[in-house]
Amino acid sequence: DAKTTQPTSMDCAEGRAANLPCNHSTISGNEYVYWYRQIHSQGPQYIIHGLKNNETNEMASLIITEDRKSSTLILPHATLRDTAVYYCIVRAGYSTLTFGKGTMLLVSP
């Protein structure tokens, strides 16, 4: 699976959009970009995934660059409950999930 690079931590004001970047310059054509988050003391939670088109669901939007070498997870109106570690994972559909260190997002009032 391709390696990903994420900032260690980010801050966001409540109500503002949180934009979490992820670099995956070695991504292969058959690899998807997945995002999970882990709120303190809870199990990881699936957020969204995509191959090359932008994706949106009730939780977030995923923007993948045209060359697929990077992506951004967007939480349109961050709340305090969005404070969590966010993991960007690149993998083919036939491989298991491997978690990196992720980005600690702190949403403040």
| 9 belongs to the binding site for other proteins (CB under 8 A) | no
| 101 belongs to the binding site for other proteins (CB under 8 A) | yes
Q: What is the DSSP string of 18-68?
A: EEEEEE-TT--TTEEEEEEEE-TTS--EEEEEESSS-EE-SS-EEEE-TTS
Look at residues 39, 42, 32 and name the one whose alpha carbon lies nearest to residue 96.
32
Q: Which is nearer to other proteins, 45 or 108 (CB)?
A: 45
Q: Which is nearer to other proteins, 29 or 109 (CB)?
A: 29
Q: Which stretch binds other proteins (CB under 8 A): 5-13, 15-23, 39-47, 70-78?
A: 39-47
Task: List the one residue from 7, 44, 59, 61 that touches other proteins (CB under 8 A).
Answer: 44
